[in-house]
Amino acid sequence: MKEYHAKIIDVRHGDNFTVVQPVNIYSCIFGDDCFVGPFTEVQKNVTVGHRTRIQSHCFLCELVAVGDDCFIGHGVMFINDLLKTGAPSYDPQDWKKTTIGNKVSIGSNSTILPVDICDEVVIGAGSVVVKDITVPGTYAGNPAKLIRKKEN
C-alpha cells in the first residue's frame, strides 16, 4: 500500500503568506499577502499574484496563472484536460493553460475550463466558464454569460 499525506513542498512565496492546513501545494509560486484555505490543492507550475485569496476545497491544476487582488471562492475547480481523446490524458502536452487577470472574483463551486479571463471580472457562484472572457463585468450560469458590464 502506498500512503500519501498532504504537504507543502517547494513553494515560493512573498511576505505574509498564510496557509490553513491541511493543504497539498507543491512547486508553485505565490505573491505577497496571499491566503490559501484548508483542503486545497495547488499543483506545480501554478502562479498566484499578490493579495489573492484562495478559499477552502479548491483545486488549481497545472498551467493556471492567477493575477493580483483576486478571490477564489470555496470549492472552485480549474480544469486543464479537455479529454480530447475521450479519456483523461496523463501527457502534459495535451493540457491547456488558464490565465486569470487582476481583480477577478470567482464564486464558490464554479468550474473554470482552460480560458483567459480579463481584469475586473466577477464569476457568479456555481458558474461554468467554457470560453474566454474579454469584457470586464459579471458573468453567471452554465455556460457562464455576461449579465452586467462593469460600470466605469
Q: What is the pLDDT of residues 34-71, one digit of tens each?
A: 999 999 999 999 999 999 999 999 999 999 999 999 99
pLDDT at site 128 = 98
101 and 84 Cβ atoms separated by less than 8 Å:
no
Residues 52, 127, 101, 97, CA torsion sign = positive
CATH of the structural domain 8-81+90-149, one choice from 2.160.10.10, 3.40.50.720, 3.30.70.360, 3.40.50.12780: 2.160.10.10
Q: Checking DSSP bridges between strand 145-149 and strand 137-140, what pairing results, if any?
A: antiparallel
Residue 57 bears catalytic tag: yes
104 and 114 Cβ atoms separated by less than 8 Å:
no
> Is residue 31's pLDDT more than 80?
yes
- Choice among 5, 50, 57, 74 that is catalytic: 57
Which pTM does this prediction carry?
0.95
pLDDT at site 108 = 98
pLDDT at site 67 = 98
Amino acid residing at 79: I
- Three cell numbers, residue 56: 477552502
Query: Residues 81-91: what's their mean pLDDT?
Result: 89
